[in-house]
Amino acid sequence: MNYKICEIFDSIQGEGSWMGTPASFIRFAGCNLRCSWCDTKDSWDSENVQELRIEEIMSQINFPTVIITGGEPTLYDLEELILAIRNKFSQKQTVRIAIETNGTNKIPWDIDWIVCSPKPDADYQILCNPNELKYVVDDDFSVDVIPDRFIGKIPIWLQPNSEDLEKSMEKSYNLVMKHDFLRLGIQLHKIYHIK
């Protein structure tokens, strides 16, 4: 099976509960949403995309912590890739696989951690069972978009919108101070000026 991949790289996880953890990242091409403030718009189309076999992907994976991201990776059948990741490291180290998704699709695979970043301006329900939620805060964001079933049960991060950072940071901070079920998020990789 071939996968459309934008990039594979090693870095730290810059956001959420695994922040600061060294990992290998696999960024898939294609997305079923088009958010105006998306910071990976280059993953939307097929330009600069490689079609890679599992063996080619695995040759570039160096850490037993792997972040599958996009675009929207749930547009692909990831079962064989996930098995290959687990088999590569299973004898030596504990393997941890996370997926970053917009939540529009179910996740039937053996994933250790699901990060869902819902898009409030899109008309859909969250179909996966996330371990954490991450909302980008812009002028229109309201806590009313957060489904009640997640409040108080999983971490819910507010991520300032980088297009109007100062204003978005202030709004995020004020919301967290009013609602104790929220967490204030950052993008650590941007502070460190790394990928």
- Phi, psi values for residue 59, rounded to 5°: -70, -15
Give the tens place of pLDDT for each residue, 20-49.
999 999 999 988 887 666 666 676 676 779
Q: What is d(CA 76, CA 57) in angstroms, rounded to the nearest whole number?
A: 15
Average pLDDT over residues 163-192: 92
- Block residue for tokens 């972040």: 67
Helix (H, G, I), strand (E, B) or coil at 141: coil
50: containing domain: 2-191
- The CATH number of the domain holding residue 21 is 3.20.20.70
Confidence of residue 1 (pLDDT cuts 50, 70, 90): confident
Number of domains in the chain: 1
What value, to the nearest 5°, has the Cα angle with vertex 168 and ends 183 and 191?
A: 75
pLDDT, tens digit (0-9, with 9 covering 90-100), for 96-136: 999 999 999 999 999 999 999 998 666 778 999 999 999 99
Rounded CA separation 91/30 (Å): 33
CB atoms within 10 A of CB 56: 14
pLDDT higher at 194 or 16: 16
Global pTM reads 0.92
For residue range 80-93, what is the model confidence (pLDDT) as tens digits? 999 999 999 867 78
